Amino acid sequence: MSDKHLCWVPRSWEEYPSDFMSLVLHSEVASYYRQTNKIE
């Protein structure tokens, strides 16, 4: 059960376009920023 998330890991990170990775990173940063804003 614990290694179920491994199916989401690509065989090679190069398979993903850089635009997609930047979008994912941006969304993660945005959600983190919202969480820290709520604390304040």
Question: What are the tens digits of pLDDT across the range 1-40?
Answer: 455 555 555 566 666 667 777 888 888 888 888 888 776 5
Confidence (pLDDT) at 37: 78
Confidence (pLDDT) at 38: 73
Tell me how far the alpha carbon of residue 26 is from its chain's centroid: 8
Tokens of 32: 């983190």
Query: Is 0.75 surpassed by the pTM of this model?
Result: no
Question: Which residues touch 10 (CB under 8 Å, ≥6 apart)?
Answer: 16
Confidence (pLDDT) at 25: 82
